[in-house]
Amino acid sequence: MTLLQLHYLAEIAESGSINKAARNLFISQSSISNAIRELEGELGFVVLLRHNKGTEFTDEGRRFYESTLPLLEQEKKIMKVYGGKGGYASPRLRISSHHYPFVSQAFIRYVRSIDSNQSKYDLRLRETNTQYIIEDVATESSDLGVLFLSDVIQEYIRRLLSDRDLEFHPLKTVVPHVFMGKHHPLAHQECVDVQVLENYPFVAFDQERAVSLNFSEEIALVNFQPSQKTIFLSDRASAYNVEASTDAISIGTGLLPPGFHHPDIVAIPIKDLDDRIRLGWIRKKNAPFSQEAKNFVEILKECLAEMA
């Protein structure tokens, strides 16, 4: 059970329907529905009855909701006592991540979820490589980091995380995909052979100090050798523009949430691969983990669930 779920429940009670609550919170209806189902699964009983005119509490659901009101009220009091200017706590959140569109999507949802009465907040999303993500979280410059483990680098990265007293929390396992422009010669195929990809220019993010393959943001595959025609870029928008306008490719998760990627980019699964990409987030073991960070993780899970 999370405070975020309880806030969703309170918004549903206030607005009278999941649909209205979703609009008020600037998130999808399915995100709230999934969160309430998870809550009901944990509680072991139905909290809300859904029908055409909206929602209503079951008797047990109403008793549960009313029992949470003192907790939500206490949260407000704590924020008022220990908050910043205007009596509200100033949200502070630091995220380090690979150049993932779904992380940007989650970050924007988090920003939209902040109370409009906030007079200030301190938020950061840093898109960078694996080495910096690990350093940021290990030194507590970031609350959490979002990265991937693949078959090629998993053993090395897990050992490094352990040495830096970090823990990895899995989010989603996906099949490697190739990103390319929709006018690419291979764009019409349902899936592509990995060896064919070796003939095309390869887009990679500039790794700066992280010269080791283990720190590369691009997915390293067991049976794939990238073209010697490599295009190094430093930001996601430039990578999308190059791929949309040329026959260059890159390899990644295949997760492209609507509205958060170039409209001329497509993601096609690579066939006959045993490789898997394990997306997850890392945090410092036994270090304080803020409610803001917990809320962001829940929103991140919602964004990934919508692309299932």
Q: Does residue 104 register a pLDDT over 80?
A: yes
Residue type, 249: I
Cα(171)–Cα(74) distance, integer angstroms:
31
CA geometry: angle at 270 spanning 264 and 274, to 5°? 150
Cα(225)–Cα(218) distance, integer angstroms:
12
Per residue in 205-263, pLDDT (tens digit) is: 765 444 444 445 555 565 667 767 888 887 778 888 999 999 999 888 888 888 877 88
Residue 85: per-residue pLDDT: 47
**pTM reported for the whole predicted model:** 0.68
Nearest residue to 270 via CA among 248, 253, 245, 246: 253
Residue 215: per-residue pLDDT: 46
Q: State mean pLDDT over 60-88.
A: 73
**What is the rounded average pLDDT for all residues in the chain?**
83
All domains of the chain in start order, with CATH? 3-82 (1.10.10.10), 92-169+283-292 (no CATH), 174-278 (3.40.190.290)
Around 258, how many Cα atoms within 13 Å sit in the side-chain half-sphere? 3
Q: Does residue 142 register a pLDDT over 80?
A: yes
Residue 81: per-residue pLDDT: 55
Cα(226)–Cα(205) distance, integer angstroms:
14
Residue 222: per-residue pLDDT: 56
Per residue in 147-195, pLDDT (tens digit) is: 998 877 888 899 999 999 999 999 999 988 999 999 999 999 999 988 8
Q: Which two tokens stand for residue 84?
A: 């910043």
